[in-house]
Chains A and B, each alone.
Chain A
Amino acid sequence: MTVSFLIESENVSREKGKTQPLGRRAFLATAAALPSVVSAGPEFSQKTLQVWACGGLAEALIPANRRFREKTGIEIAFTGAFAAALGKSLQGSATTDVFAGRVLALAKKLRATGKMMYFKPLCFTRYVVVTPKGNPAHISDIRDLATPGVRVILAPDASPPGGEAVTGILKKAGIVDQAMKNTVIKGSCVQRTLEDLIAGKGDASVVEFRLTRMPSFQGKVDIIPIPESLFPPGPLTFTIGVMNSAPDKTLAGHFVEFIRSAEGQRFFEAAGFIPAESEEGARLVTKLGVKDV
């Protein structure tokens, strides 16, 4: 199948109401104007590409995959779930062509064990304090979660990016004990606890910013930034790589390049991530040492 990968500066269909910070948009527009990363028309030996990714990336990858199919005719068989679980399966007998995972150490482990051919930076996440619309408890800083009487909602039993990471942030902020005392709902699923927050069952929670961009939650919470110095580095990083089991590594590589192109990265920004191919992303790539082994 012949494929032309012109990375256009055309508008990417995005979900209603999603906006981009101006700085990044300008950067991406500039990047889009650059010559195409892959402009050749190579022949591919398969019509379906298997992509496994961290479930948190689903909101970005679903439209990105659709766009890739529109451009190439290649179907994407996409599986999105907790990256550590998928990584565990991949270290066993499971296979996929492309893997986009959270946590740099997982990508390095897959490289070290010979499962992954190479990986590249994909995007980054960040954490925020969220309150019900109108911020009835007047939260202005994460440390306000320690104020007696503030009703905190957390999901400590959720998968680590939503559970352990948030506990780590509270620890670094020096408020973990008091915030836990203030916790009125301790859930096992971040999305369910966010629903509780919106329903007014609590005054504040700590979640990944990307959750506030989901259609179910968009515009329904107020957002208060958390200083980056409090973020645990592990869950911030997402990488994308080609697996050694991929039958057509050229096709897998083209998909990776599309996702990392300006056009592909816009989907990640729209879903609430910091694209790796942006000024902010470039800073984080250096700071967090996101390099292939």
Chain B
Amino acid sequence: MSRRAEAAVLGNEFSSKEGVLTLRRWRRIIQIASLAIIGQWSFYGIFRCPFIVPYVSCQNCPVITCHGRIFTMFWGIWLVIPLSVLIFGRAFCGWLCPGGLVTQLFGSIALLKLRTRNVLTRYLPYLKYVGLALALSVWLYFGQPREAVPIRVGSFFPSVALTFEHATPVWLVRTFVVLGFLVLGLLLANVWCRFACPAGGALEIVRKLSLFKIRKNNKCDDCDRCLQVCEMGTRPLEHNCTSCCDCLSVCPQNAIEITGLRRNW
């Protein structure tokens, strides 16, 4: 992050349109950089990981060519994510997750943005916790069974084809559910990140402990302008806020601010 951006975290300089554009540009640059660094691992997890719950068994996975294993990203990422959530909330979702970038791009052309407040958008986000419970139980209780033939070495796409060809029905169901949600994202914006992602569910649980937060102050008049620009269809500090900062410039009351250490303490 630039010196200006760092200063803004405490000083709320990004309330200006120029500042928000700068920040949004930074977010896209960081997302693309993250895609370059962990994107391969991310997509291996969906398409080639032989286990039901990806990203948690990399240390002894037979797939040699996966970046999670080659560069021991497994350990690094599982250190970075807890740290990031304690400092910046669900910023990993908004700023670093390669899958998040894909769903955001899909969401930008989605037919229904779902940027409204109703019973559906209020309760559907809790489906994430069902996904999280399922993932935890498969991983920790059922012993993380291997349900696809690991293609230990091979070019990505031919190996994906072989993985699908020789996977068990359980693996296929798991993968098509994930892919189904991603494709559904072309109809309902960010449906995977908002309503289904187990990792997002885990981060959501501890998000409120974060040091830095985007929040509404008492000038907020519930006009929902922030909701209209939010890719996650939420408002600052409410369920599913990923600290993306897109809402900073749109509030007519100037009621949205980033609070840091001083404000929290």
Q: Which residues of A contact B (CB under 8 A)?
A: 55, 58, 61-62, 77-82, 85-86, 88-89, 94, 157-159, 187-189, 191-192, 194-195, 216
B162 lies within 8 A of A80 (CB): no
Residues of A within 8 A of B155 (CB): 77, 79
Given A157-B145, A159-B149, A189-B146: A79 touches B59 (CB 8 Å cut-off): no
Residues of B within 8 A of A157 (CB): 145-146
In the complex, residue of chain A having the shortest beta-carbon distance to the beta carbon of B145: A188
Least Cβ distance of B238 to chain A in Å? 40
Residues of A within 8 A of B162 (CB): 79, 81, 85-86, 89, 94
| Top 4 A-B pairs, shortest CB-CB distance | A79-B154, A55-B152, A80-B153, A85-B166
Given A79-B158, A82-B166, A85-B162: A189 touches B60 (CB 8 Å cut-off): yes
B153 lies within 8 A of A192 (CB): no
A55 lies within 8 A of B153 (CB): yes
In the complex, residue of chain B having the shortest beta-carbon distance to the beta carbon of A216: B60
A-B contact count (CB 8 A): 72
Looking at B64, B145, B146, B165, the one whose CB has the most chain A CB atoms below 10 A away is B146
A58 lies within 8 A of B59 (CB): no
Q: Known A-B contacts: A81-B154, A81-B159, A192-B60. Give 8 more (CB < 8 A).
A: A55-B151, A80-B151, A81-B162, A82-B149, A88-B166, A188-B145, A191-B60, A195-B59
Say which residue of A81, A89, A191 sits within 8 Å of B61 (CB atoms): A191
In the complex, residue of chain B having the shortest beta-carbon distance to the beta carbon of A53: B153
Say which residue of A77, A81, A88, A89 sits within 8 Å of B150 (CB atoms): A81
B143 touches A (CB below 8 Å):
yes
B131 touches A (CB below 8 Å):
no
Q: Which residues of B contact A (CB under 8 A)?
A: 50, 57, 59-62, 64, 143-146, 149-155, 158-159, 162, 165-166
B154 lies within 8 A of A192 (CB): no
In the complex, residue of chain A having the shortest beta-carbon distance to the beta carbon of B151: A81
Given A79-B151, A79-B159, A189-B146: A55 touches B62 (CB 8 Å cut-off): yes
A78 lies within 8 A of B60 (CB): no
Least Cβ distance of B231 to chain A in Å? 37
Given A89-B162, A157-B145, A189-B146: A81 touches B152 (CB 8 Å cut-off): yes
CA distance A38 to B166 in the complex (A): 37
B57 lies within 8 A of A192 (CB): yes
Residues of B within 8 A of A81 (CB): 149-154, 159, 162, 166
Least Cβ distance of B50 to chain A in Å? 8
Least Cβ distance of B129 to chain A in Å? 27
| A to B CB contacts below 8 Å, 15 in the list | A58-B152, A62-B64, A79-B151, A80-B152, A81-B159, A81-B162, A85-B165, A89-B162, A159-B149, A187-B143, A189-B62, A192-B146, A195-B59, A216-B59, A216-B60
Residues of A within 8 A of B165 (CB): 85, 89
Least Cβ distance of A191 to chain B in Å? 5
A195 lies within 8 A of B146 (CB): no
A80 lies within 8 A of B61 (CB): no
CA distance A155 to B80 in the complex (A): 32
Residues of A within 8 A of B50 (CB): 189
Say which residue of A79, A85, A188, A216 sits within 8 Å of B153 (CB atoms): A79
Residues of B within 8 A of A189 (CB): 50, 60, 62, 146
A55 lies within 8 A of B150 (CB): yes
CA distance A81 to B155 in the complex (A): 12
Residues of A within 8 A of B60 (CB): 189, 191-192, 194-195, 216
CA distance A86 to B149 in the complex (A): 10
Residues of B within 8 A of A61 (CB): 153
Residues of B within 8 A of A195 (CB): 59-60
Least Cβ distance of A229 to chain B in Å? 29
Say which residue of B150, B153, B166 sits within 8 Å of A78 (CB atoms): B153
Looking at A58, A81, A158, A195, the one whose CB has the most chain B CB atoms below 10 A away is A81
Residues of A within 8 A of B152 (CB): 55, 58, 80-81
